Amino acid sequence: MSDQTNNSDALSIARAVRSDETSSVAIVDQHLAAIDASEAEIHAFNLVLADEARAAAAVIDQRVAAGEDVGPLAGVPIALKDNMCTKGVPTTCSSKMLEGWKPPYNATVVEKLAAAGAILIGKTNMDEFAMGSSTENSAFGVTKNPLDTTKVPGGSSGGSAAAVAAGFAPLALGSDTGGSIRQPAALCGVVGMKPTYGAVSRYGLIAFASSLDQIGPFSNTVADSAALFEVIGGHDPRDSTSIPEPAASVSAGLATGVAGLRVGIITELMGTGDLDGFEPEVLAQTRAAAEALAAAGATVAEVSVPSVIYGLSAYYQIAPAEASSNLARYDGVRYGVRQEGSGNTASMMMATRTAGFGDEVKRRIMLGTYALSAGYYDAFYGKAQRVRTLMINDLAKAYADFDVLLTPTSPCVAFDIGATSDPLTMYLNDVCTIPSNLAGHPSISVPYGTGQGGLPVGVQVLAPLQGEAIMFQVAAELERSANAIKTTSKNGAEA
């Protein structure tokens, strides 16, 4: 039995563990060694569960030795964003408000991961309560991009993206409300996927904006993301928004190719018209990805989705409004670290929320409360919901002519830590990812080439409701093309 295997490929690890070619304990030890070597600089984790991971891995090895089927993710280490409840393990949302809080139950995705044989290796850093695009808004420090530690990893699931990119875990879970999986995946050069709204249970996910939030995978390969999605997907009666169908099967079509498929490039998200800030290198790589799909047999053309230019404005009415409602429970009585006031309940609540929440969370609570207030509801929140409906209708028209849509994931590559002190500038990072959240559609970011400073570019594939199978099919073709380009470049350099 060998104690070495491909640590970046979750499916290879699982096969090796199931066949007893390596041990789960050895795999966990290799990843913990990587964490020990670099975590102090990168700060991907709020909590590393070294002892617990080793103990769980030992159980997996015992079950393999006994001839049991230990699941499709046998012995694979996985990192979990710190807004998913883990029984008896601190779950903080990277906020002082929940510092040290230990949930009395597991999120549904945590239960499903355990049943699939995965090993929880740690809880990852994030923008506080998932509000941000850089993982600089954490109460517990900034996460750095493993590819260049002067840069951000993106957010809000930056810790999960960084953990995969740094080799701390081959898989991670994040949550995506406006791009919080796909944007950090793009900036860290990994695969990140947002499922259809309701395809993955939100039970045990601490809510930010309930009509937008979705849990999804990070990985180094499209196949690994597909496998993880199949594990965590499916109906959950404990989530009232859960789609009442089994988990979608998406892995079978990864080798199918794209011949005969119709791919639409969204014109408004290619640096034209009213939306600016797109780096030329990002647009060039997106065009190159489209050309690669065309060369593989797809029909590729531009398509207009006019209302996407309003997505950012609508999102920053709807998401803060829902956040202001969801975060009302953190008052020092029901939830949260309690701060004593000046002798009455109102002052205690004010002291608790003042000390417990960071600046960005306070900003969004105030924005949302204002948007929902008497006299302003129709002008702000109601109008934003009408824009949301308009966008859903525009996307439906596009999908009548195309199987999937293509855009950049982020308008730029990873930017400097501390570079965007202006919240509005930070919000622009979500311009390409927000439409999928507002519509409830699935989308995936695949690394495709590099941009400014040699940093990775992510290309986004969007699909209609429950269109994950065809979306993964296209993503796999993009991955093959990107890998072929890297291999050609490497061989040319060696020559």
Euclidean distance between CA atoms 102 and 91, whole angstroms? 6
Q: Which amino acid would we find at residue 33?
A: A
Euclidean distance between CA atoms 323 and 327, whole angstroms? 6
CA nearest neighbour of 112 among 242, 24, 213: 242
> Residue 271 gets which letter from DSSP?
T
Helix (H, G, I), strand (E, B) or coil at 214: strand
Q: What are the catalytic residues?
A: 81, 156, 180
Strand 119-124 and strand 77-81: the pairing is: parallel
DSSP-derived secondary structure for 11-40:
HHHHHHHHTTSS-HHHHHHHHHHHHHHHHH
CB 46 within 8 A of CB 35: no
- Strands of the sheet containing 262-266, edge to edge, are 45-48, 119-124, 77-81, 171-176, 214-219, 191-194, 443-450, 456-462, 404-408, 262-266, 299-303
Beta bridge mates, 200: 233
Encode burial over 148-161: b for 16+ CB neighbours within 10 A, e otherwise. Answer: beebbbbbbbbbbb
CB 315 within 8 A of CB 424: no
CA nearest neighbour of 124 among 74, 178, 168: 168
Tell me, rounded to whole angstroms, the distance of Cα 273 from its chain centroid: 28
Strand ranges (E), 383-471 = 404-408, 443-450, 456-462
Strand ranges (E), 195-331 = 214-219, 262-266, 299-303
- The helix (run of H) or strand (run of E) holding residue 284 is helix 280-295
Hey, CA dihedral for 44, 153, 428, 478, is it positive or negative?
Answer: negative
Looking up tokens 């209708």 gives 393
End-to-end Cα spacing for the chain: 37
Looking up tokens 């601190």 gives 90
CB 288 within 8 A of CB 427: no
Euclidean distance between CA atoms 412 and 145, whole angstroms? 14
- The helix (run of H) or strand (run of E) holding residue 244 is none
Encode burial over 378-392: b for 16+ CB neighbours within 10 A, e otherwise. Answer: eebbebbbebbeebb
What would the two tokens of residue 410 be? 């982020």
